[in-house]
Each structure stands twice: as structure tokens, then as C-alpha cells.
Chain A
Amino acid sequence: MKIAVASGKGGTGKTMVAANLAFTLSRTCQVTLVDCDVEEPNLHLFFPSPVTVTDVNIAVPVIDEKTCDRCGMCGEFCQYGALTVLRDRVLFFPELCHSCGGCTLVCPKNAIHEVPKRIGAVTFATVLPHLNLITGYLDAGNPHAVPVIRAAKKMAENDNLVICDASPGTSCPVVETLENCDACILVTESTPFGRHDLALAVDVTERLGIPAGVVINRSDGQDQETLDFCANHDLDVMITIPFDRRIAAIQSKGDLLCRVRPEWQKTFCSLFDKCRTLAGGD
């Protein structure tokens, strides 16, 4: 079973929920946690451990200037503007290239071949006896998060229970994270911003056909508008976490609520049970 944790709005507590859920479940079964927020992964802060590193490469074209006759077909084909054909040479912008390989196929002279270019890395660590943490890191200045997320998820593809922590927003990185997940936990807060972005995130999970439920975090007890939104969209509010200084203090030390206050494990177990129901399991 694969569970995604997403939110739309940033800072609602995705990572907090993912970390505590993974920690709690790892006490009874084998769990893999995947940090798919590759632009600024932070789950490792809760689980400091030695890691093994694997580079993530994408393929980019190299043009053999001797064979190339500047016919322009590659530039015309490239939808991303990565290749521009001038009279005397071809200009290549690697940050615009999506590695589709189309230029190599359309070149009538076979003047283009591909070489690997590093865009990030994936790290693997066994952080607790039954908990593995996989983290995707996108290199600074690189715009393509999706291949790094794909590589991180691939490392966990044979694992039974996987929890994927998404980035904020609703764009390609989130869609890539949600892909093939059986259920999605949407973490929100009872603020106008939280509700606004929750609506956007729900739109994404609905379009992808992934069953979703809601966690209200930092609740001040005045959640009626969020509860109404969830009722109108047929979303189960699976658990509610209060706005509590003691919880914030645990978080800020890089510790886990469910480790410091084990009574919370019951709540996170119930969250998992509800995810299983969402996914159509027993």
C-alpha cells in the first residue's frame, strides 16, 4: 500500500504527519518513508542517520557539429525551446531540456547522441529497525524535480508499505508523488489559506482518481468552515491535531510527537486504518 501526504498549502504539517505515521507503523511492521519534496527535503531532520547516495541523471543531447548540417529539424521539434539552430551552430539550453529524446529521433543525419547529466541524488537510510527513509535531493539551480521524485519512488517500488511526503502546491512534483498511490492524506489548517489550497489539492486527487481524506492540523477548535468544506466534498476528516504549544516544542527539537508522547500513537494508528478504508482494503 502506498500513501501520499499532500496539502496544497505549505507549512500545514505534511512532514509532521508523515514522520509520526511512519514512526508509529514501524513499531509493528516494515515501513518505507519517501521524501518527495525534493526541492527542500526535511524528513531526515527527524531521523538523522548515515546514508548511501545514488546520483540521479537525465539524458541530454550532444550535437556532433561535423555531421550536423543545421537543417533545423531538432529545433523545430523541441517543444521546450532547448535547441535553437543558427546558420553556423546549434545552441543548447540544458535547463530547458525535458530529456524526451525526440531530437535524436528526428535528426536525419544521426548527428545527436545523448549523455547523462546529474540533476540530483537519492539517499537511502535505515533509520529505525523497521523504518527506511528514502530522500530525493534536487541539485540547486536545476528546474526538473520530477525525475528525482521518480527515482526516489522507484527505490521503494517493491516495498509493501510506503508513505510519500509530497511538496506543497499542486503542480507536476505533487502529481508525480501522487501517481500510483492508493490513498492520499491531505493535511490542512483551519485558515482561509488552508481551505483555499485544500480545495486545489482535492481537485488534483479527484482528477487522478486517488481517494483522499483530511487531517486538520493546528486546530484551534474553530474548524466549522473546514468541516463544512469536507462534508460538501465527501471527505472524511480522519484525525484532528490541536494547536498546542507542547506539540510545537517537540517538533522544534526535531523530535517526534509519537515518540515523546506515545499516547498519540493510537491516533496515528487510527489514521492508518482510515487510509486503508479509503484505499478499499479491509
Chain B
Amino acid sequence: MKICITSQGSTLDALAEERFGRAPFFIIIDTETGSFEALENQFAGGSGGVGPKAAQILITHKVEVLVSGMVGGNAREVLQAAGMHLYVYRAGGTVRDALEQFNKKNLERVA
């Protein structure tokens, strides 16, 4: 399964980013192999419509679970239509911590 955690940087030790569409990086973790890749969000500085554009990136990468702080209405509609599960992480820690909290089932599922 592929999990995406929104991030301020390109490593697991970067701080998790609370915003979805304007997150600088998407860290995509493969739970089977434990490997991850960091995708730079080219839409982070866009003037509008960044939520659906970012959602499209996740869909293209076949992500099944998104962990982020806030997901806007349009992005949420896209992600839900694509069958993605949304979990909220707003503890202000690292991507690694967000992943750990997700694995321990400590995160609230909102969609």
C-alpha cells in the first residue's frame, strides 16, 4: 500500500506540512518495502486550483492513504471520488512521526 504524507522537506525527518494543496513535498511511502520517494509539489505556489492539481498527482502515483493536516473542499472531493482514505495529522512533528502515529492507528480518519 502507498501512503502519502505532506511534508515541508524531502526526507522522513522533515516536518510534516499541514496544508495539502500547498505542501512543498509529498512523501510517498510503500508500506510493503518500507521505501519512500519525495515528490516536489510543482503547484505549491500556484494562484488557485492547487488542491485538485495536487490530488491528481496522488492519483497518478496510485496513493491509497493520505495523511495531512487540512484538505480543502475541492481536493477532498477529488480524493474521495478516487477512493482515497484521508487521515489527519496535526501534531507538528516529522513525517516519520506522522507515519508512526498512522501505523499505531492514532490518527483520525476523516474520509
B52 and A81: CB pair below 8 A? yes
A81 and B77: CB pair below 8 A? no
A120 in contact (CB, < 8 A): no
A96 in contact (CB, < 8 A): yes
Q: Return chain A residues, CB-CB under 8 Å to B46.
A: 79, 81
10 nearest A-B residue pairs (beta carbon): A81-B49, A81-B52, A80-B49, A81-B53, A96-B49, A84-B52, A84-B78, A93-B74, A84-B56, A86-B82
B48 and A84: CB pair below 8 A? no
CB distance from B44 to the nearest CB of A (A): 13
Interchain Cβ contacts under 8 Å between A and B, 22 examples? A78-B49, A79-B49, A80-B48, A81-B43, A81-B48, A81-B56, A82-B49, A82-B52, A84-B52, A84-B59, A84-B78, A85-B56, A86-B59, A86-B78, A86-B82, A87-B82, A89-B81, A91-B78, A91-B81, A93-B77, A96-B48, A96-B74
CB distance from A62 to the nearest CB of B (A): 18
List 10 extra interface pairs beyond A81-B43, A91-B52, A93-B49, CB under 8 A.
A78-B49, A79-B49, A80-B48, A81-B48, A82-B49, A84-B59, A84-B78, A86-B82, A93-B74, A96-B48
Residues of B at the A interface (CB closer than 8 Å) are: 43, 46, 48-53, 55-56, 59, 74, 77-78, 81-82
Q: What's the Cα separation between A78 and B53 when bound, in Å? A: 9
Q: What's the Cα separation between A96 and B74 when bound, in Å? A: 10
Q: Return chain B residues, CB-CB under 8 Å to A91.
A: 52, 77-78, 81
A168 in contact (CB, < 8 A): no
B51 and A81: CB pair below 8 A? yes
> Which among B48, B50, B53, B81 is the interface contact of A86 at CB below 8 angstroms?
B81
Q: Return chain B residues, CB-CB under 8 Å to A85.
A: 56
A75 in contact (CB, < 8 A): yes
Q: Return chain B residues, CB-CB under 8 Å to A89.
A: 81
Q: What's the Cα separation between A83 and B51 when bound, in Å? A: 11
Q: Return chain A residues, CB-CB under 8 Å to B53.
A: 81
CB distance from B48 to the nearest CB of A (A): 6
CB distance from B108 to the nearest CB of A (A): 25
CB distance from A278 to the nearest CB of B (A): 32
Q: Return chain B residues, CB-CB under 8 Å to A80.
A: 48-49
Q: Return chain B residues, CB-CB under 8 Å to A84.
A: 52, 55-56, 59, 78
Q: Return chain A residues, CB-CB under 8 Å to B81.
A: 86, 89, 91
Of all chain A residues, which has the CB nearest B52?
Answer: A81
Q: What's the Cα separation between A87 and B74 when bound, in Å? A: 18
Of all chain A residues, which has the CB nearest B21?
Answer: A81
Q: Return chain B residues, CB-CB under 8 Å to A83.
A: 52
Q: Return chain B residues, CB-CB under 8 Å to A86.
A: 59, 78, 81-82
Most buried by A among B48, B49, B82: B49
Most buried by B among A81, A83, A85, A89: A81
CB distance from A263 to the nearest CB of B (A): 48
Interface positions of A from 84 to 104, Cβ below 8 Å from B: 84-87, 89, 91, 93, 96
